[in-house]
A = this chain, B = another copy of it.
Amino acid sequence: MAAALRCAQKALEEGEVPIGAVVVSDGRIISRGHNRRTKKQLATAHAEIEAIEKACKKLKSWRIPECELYVTLEPCPMCMGAALNARIKKVCFGAREDKGRSLTREIAGANLLNHTVEVEGGVMEEECSAILSEFFSSMRLREGKKRKNGGDKGEKGE
């Protein structure tokens, strides 16, 4: 998870929501990904998708059942579905999607494709949550300043 956090840091440096992921096989990291949705203007450019696609390419197989995915935030349905499609053995995530709308366990346990993904949440939760909280705090601060400046301009009719 420490490696996934370093990937999240990379996303942060690029101005993206800081989410990072790695795929591990036989105890070794075989691929890494970080969120690049804004940079690529692509709805699918999540950290997990990048890491899973790179792992498939590396292992030359769409089926990578010996692999585990580590990601700093609870995966969205798209990414959890991708883990299921790749027959990934286990998904470990850090921070929790607190409204429980990710449907993580429902997707993992749907037994779709006769495959069930093992899920472990809350791994290095504090660190994974902190990098996200800091990002959103500073974003709100920036947005607030922008609105304030925009509001001033608005009053002048610009």
Contact = CB atoms under 8 A, between A and B. Distances in A.
Interface of A: 37-38, 40-46, 49, 52-53, 56-57, 60-64, 76-82, 84-87, 99, 101-103, 106-107, 110-112
A41 B61 contact: yes
Contact of A103 (B44, B60, B99, B107): B107
Number of copies: 2
Most buried by B among A37, A53, A87, A107: A107
A31 to B, nearest CB: 13
The 10 closest A-B pairs by CB, nearest first: A78-B81, A77-B81, A43-B86, A101-B112, A43-B85, A43-B62, A101-B110, A78-B82, A77-B107, A42-B56
Contacts of A49: 44
A49 B44 CA distance: 8
